[in-house]
Amino acid sequence: MTLRKKWLMILSGIFLLVIISACSNQGNNLNEQSEPIEPKQFAEVLLAGEFKRIYAQMSDEFQKQVSLKEIERLGKDFNKGVDEFKLISEMKIDDTIQRLAWVDEEEEKGMMVVFNEDHTIERLQLIPLAKHGDTDEVFTETIFDFPFEDEWFVFWGGTNVLVNYHYELEQQRYAFDFLKIKDGKSYEGDASKNESYFAFGEKYLAPAAGIVIETENIIPDNDPVGDVDTENPAGNYVIIDHGNEEYSFLAHFKHGSIEVEEGDKVEQGDVLGLVGNSGNSSEPHIHFHVADAPDLEASKSIRINFDTGDSIIQGDFVK
């Protein structure tokens, strides 16, 4: 499954004020009197009320699903009380489509737009943003490193559902999904094979010192890529107790690759195993979050204090 299919599939499960979309590569519908909207200009154009210009750039399939009047009604309502939208995330998927997300000044409204390679608008998402101020600014006492070597891409991460689909779930609210990206892609060759993905087989590292309290190592990697194992959502995993009632959950290891056992002491940077595609995973990647208890279902996620001191968000490259 390509990155494009992965995030479209995941986003479809989020509760939205409005999602209107179409997957069409038929080219755009700009008429001669419309100046093309550059992706980074979209928020300005929406706020300026240039709805006809937006509609003209939507794909043919998109226009069949929603009328200009609906776009105008939704846009006017969404713009109420907003002076400016702030761009918070920008990324290219499979080097062909561009996804951008904005929030208003109060971070109470969020917007996501997808452009294809011809700058045709394929998807528009306008949502109210839930806020969890009681936990958004509470970080772990433990200082963590990233659980990998070299540079990886933040595919999901941040403090709203636009940039982090985990955010709705208290147990995984501050989780991250990391991918290995080269030249805008996460794989080379046959997209159905795990071995085609740059992340597959990479070293999976302990993000901080602690004691291993639970592992799973016998779940097969999903084959072909795109199949998912919903019965074993974490796949092969390692849980580490760091003290301070802080536990790392590291998921989707490669089948049989985990090198540590329950009771082992690990230091930051120790190899735990290899990155795989086991569990509820649409392609090889790293899932990492920290919670206040060792039980995935009976715990609350804690925002991770990384040793870089940076606020990590979707679209960032980190190492």
* 159 and 109, same domain (yes or no): no
Q: Of 128, 149, 164, which residue is a domain's last?
A: 128
In the predicted model, what is the mean pLDDT of the chain?
Answer: 89
**pLDDT tens digits, 259-291:** 999 999 999 999 999 999 999 999 999 999 999
Kindly report the CATH number assigned to the domain that includes residue 111. 3.10.450.50
Residues 109 and 223 grouped into a single domain: no
- Are 177 and 287 within one domain? yes
Residue 15 shares a structural domain with residue 158: no
Instruction: Calculate mean pLDDT across residues 19-33.
Output: 45
For the segment 165-191, the average pLDDT, to the nearest whole number, is 95
191 pLDDT exceeds 80? yes
pLDDT of 136 strictly over 70: yes
Residues 57, 181 share a domain: no
Q: Provide the percentage of residues in the chain whose pLDDT is more than 90.
A: 82
Asked if the model's pLDDT at residue 66 lies above 70, the reply is yes
> Of 100, 128, 156, which closes a domain?
128
Q: What's the whole-number mean pLDDT along residues 206-234?
A: 97
Mean pLDDT, residues 131-141: 94
What is the tally of structural domains in the chain? 2
In this structure, are 163 and 232 located in the same domain?
Answer: yes
Label residue 76 by pLDDT band (50, 70, 90).
very high
User: Per-residue confidence at 253, pLDDT binned at 50, 70, 90?
Assistant: very high
- Domain of 271, CATH number, reads 2.70.70.10
pLDDT at 79 over 70: yes
What is the predicted pLDDT for the residue at 309? 84
**pLDDT at 316 (0 to 100):** 94
pLDDT over 80 (residue 31): no
Residues 154 and 91 reside in one and the same domain = no
Task: Tell me what pLDDT residue 33 has.
Answer: 53
pLDDT of 19 over the 60 cut: no
Lowest mean pLDDT among 32-41, 115-124, 230-239, 259-268: 32-41
> Do residues 159 and 224 both lie within one domain?
yes
Domain range enclosing 152: 134-318
The more confident residue out of 113 and 184 is 113
Q: Copy the structure tokens of residue 89.
A: 């995330």
Which pLDDT score is estimated for 6?
Answer: 39
303 and 224 co-located in one domain: yes
pLDDT at 34: 67
pLDDT surpassing 80 at residue 127: yes
Statement to judge: residues 103 and 141 lie in one domain? no
pLDDT(225) > 90 = yes
Could you report the per-residue pLDDT of 148-174, keeping only the tens digit for each? 999 999 999 999 999 999 999 999 999
Distance, CA of 182 to CA of 152 (rounded, Å): 9
End position of a domain, from candidates 104, 128, 152: 128
pLDDT mean over 165-190: 95
Q: Same domain, yes or no, for 203 and 245?
A: yes
Residues 55 and 197 in one domain: no
